[in-house]
Amino acid sequence: MKKLVMVGLVVLVVIGLTGKGFAAGKHGTAAEAEGMVKKAIAMAKAKGNEAAFAEINNPKGQFTDRDLYVFVYDINGKCVAHGQNLKMVGKELIDMKDADGKAFVKERVEIAKTKGSGWQDYKFTDPLTKKIEPKRAYVERYGDLIFGSGIYR
């Protein structure tokens, strides 16, 4: 009986440590960002783009966690879903630049077209601090769409 209670406690601790808010740090990790992108693409494959976009655009949905969120662009740089700022959805952002003048949307389109997936560095507003911070985003092409998520450094 004592052994069964100990096994139960270990299972509860493991579940607690892997839960969405318990062990999660203030900021997301690169592995979490990449995993979130792959999960969003899997949803688009399984349920269709519109269902995936609706979930990505839901600020309380599964594709928003701390400072992590998914964004989606078409292959020409038009934002079709954004987990942090719905005002970007529907806008042509190919010429958008960061605080240093880097055309980061153009760069992610190029990564998607030439490599299929990859990481990029730029600066963007951190949703937790509301300050412009260095950001590293993972982007992956799925059809004519570019799914991405990034970490603040």
Tens of pLDDT, residue by residue over 115-145, are: 999 999 999 988 888 899 999 999 999 999 9
74's torsion region: left (phi>0), alpha (psi -120 to 50) or beta? beta
Q: In whole angstroms, give the CA distance from residue 60 to residue 34.
A: 19
User: Residue 146: what pLDDT?
Assistant: 98
User: Residue 3: what pLDDT?
Assistant: 46
Q: In whole angstroms, give the CA distance from residue 137 to residue 151.
A: 6
Q: Work out the angle between the directed axes of helices 30-47 and 49-57 (0-180°, nearest 10).
A: 140
User: Residue 24: what pLDDT?
Assistant: 54
Tens of pLDDT, residue by residue over 5-63, are: 333 333 333 333 333 443 457 889 999 999 999 999 999 999 999 999 999 999 999 99
Tens of pLDDT, residue by residue over 93-115, are: 999 999 999 999 999 999 999 99
